[in-house]
Structure 1
Amino acid sequence: MFNRRVWLGFALAPLLPSVLFLIAFHLSDLRQAAFLLGFSLLFSYLPSLLFGIPLVVFLKSRKVLSIVSVVLCGSLLGAITLYMFGFVSSMPLSSPKGIAPELREVFSGGVLGALVSTLFSLIAGFPLFNSKAR
């Protein structure tokens, strides 16, 4: 169904948010860094596999598989995923996080989703605009 490049994209692209979180938080405690890495990998790989694979199959079946279509859908999925990440991580901390997402969460998640889906699309070798030949 998928070639090696697509599987390589699914394997590598979800690492990007975890690496960015580690850089952004620059944690000196190894335990905190390991916890953050594990938690962010879970929230990066799980949506990528649960939603990314069906999304690529759907876009391919509609003959609209391209970098642009994957990035647009990835931005939306990224916004939803980052919101869920914040909501779930606030529960054990008894943080007063509301159900309505904040604009910066939506924007940040959209940017992360766009970055991951762009990296994935480039690794997978998708065309920029149209995949009628695929």
Structure 2
Amino acid sequence: RMEDSRKGRQIQDLEETVGAQERDNESKQLDIDLVESKYLGATKDLNRLKLGLQWKDEKIFQLQKTNSELQQELDITKFDHREHKCMLCNMDFTLFRRPHHCRKCHRVCCARCAPEKRQPQFSEYGLRPTRVCSNCVE
């Protein structure tokens, strides 16, 4: 009987140990689930931030391109003020034959060679129709 009692106690001790290990495993599984959830959330945040960064990089590229184009236009316009003849018909500019810039190709033309006025655009003088030369109209 003493031996049965000892075996019974060993069984009881083993059952308690198994129960404690099961509770410990459940606790660890909850910790793992929490870490996985946080990892998935962080991954989603990272992907969202990457998309935002990609969009901003594209926007910066577009703005740099626009800036470069505007700088070229400004440089061409500054240079073109030195022109004394229409770049299309070669007529000299006078008090009555004034130079005009084609807003598409930036050539300096007389009013006869740049007769077309297109949709109004904002300029330093407000909303004005833009002049386009006869070469750019065709």
Same fold (TM > 0.5): no
- Structure with greater helix percent: 1
Classify the TM-score, shorter chain: under 0.3
TM-score, with normalisation over the residues of structure 2?
A: 0.23
Higher strand share: 2
TM-score by length of 1: 0.23
Q: Between Structure 1 and Structure 2, whose CA radius of gyration is higher?
A: 2
Higher RCO structure (Cα 8 Å, ≥6 apart): 1
